[in-house]
Amino acid sequence: MLTIKPHQLLFSFTLFMGILIAISSSSWFILWMGLELNLLSFIPILTSSSNRYSAESALKYFLIQALGSASLLAACPMSLIFPHLSVFIIFTALLLKLGAAPLHFWFPPVMQGISWIQSLVLMTIQKITPIAMMSTLISNFSTSIIMFSSIISSLVGALGGLNQTLTRKIISYSSINHMAWLLAAIMFNERMWLIYFLCYTLISASVVSILHSNQIFHFNQLLTMNLFSKPLKLSLFLSLLSLGGLPPFLGFLPKMMIIQEFLFSQTSIIWLTILLFSALLTLFFYLRISLSSFILASPKTKTSFLLNSPHTFLILPFLNLSPLFYPLILFFMY
């Protein structure tokens, strides 16, 4: 059962305050203050975990984020003299904070050393401020930076997750792959990346909630997961397939919208092809996990992973299957 301590509640409040200050600021200094408040609030949350590797992950995260904040602060006055170099440094610092490739080297190790709830915050909430900054600062010069990072992120996220057996690293590489689609959505408009980010957050929360409740950290634990709760197991694999973008699940809808924007705006077809290829690879290792877990499960290999209230997670398949009901909603509306 998840217990929230008073200091975690306080630092969670200041974490959200840092995000609000950063995205609503009109000056570089206030924006930097919001980023630092967000960083200094997340570090105590990371170290509050009972995991012995949490301190190491918190130190890695602090050093990387401090490097990104220092680069961002140094690039702001440089914009008066070298505007193009300043834009390049700013976007590089934001990509470093996001954990997007080719600056992704810190993201999977940090994810591996923290708990599932902290991983969810790192994958979703901590990415709001850098993405919002990139969407407001985008220009003709920065589009090539975003395109390059999106292509590399899609390939790294897809290929990096193929040979992983640790679930947190699989989810982290999947997050890097989703970052490629988010960067592509930034190129079009704010509404597009907001829709994609909201759908990604909901699906990630549905996956993490089940993995956290059963304390699943390895691929072998999925094979022997709670054989007496088949609806729970089905809800997990529906959520995983939705995270991979398999139609008709919820994760396919924002990707379809981005594909339509690519075709309507006649943006680089090569970029779109690479994104689709990487999405197929991520879907492949999610299908491998799902099929292996269903086929290889037997009563001889069952373990004692029991959930306190399995019925609370039965709503998760309906969340990922919600696109099936959209035509009915439109039918009754019109």
The 10s digit of each residue's pLDDT in 104-139 is 999 999 999 898 999 999 999 999 999 999 988 887
The answer to whether 254 touches 202, Cβ cutoff 8 Å, is no
The 10s digit of each residue's pLDDT in 242-292 is 898 888 888 899 999 999 999 888 778 899 999 999 999 999 888 887 777
Q: State the Cα angle at 215 between 61 and 203, rounded to 5°.
A: 70
The 10s digit of each residue's pLDDT in 149-204 is 999 999 999 999 888 888 999 999 999 999 999 999 998 888 899 999 999 999 99
Q: Which two tokens stand for residue 10?
A: 């306080």
Contacts of 154 (CB under 8 A, 6+ apart): 177, 180, 181, 274, 275, 277, 278, 279
pTM attached to this predicted model: 0.89
The whole-number pLDDT of residue 297 equals 56
Total residue count of the chain as it appears in this document = 334
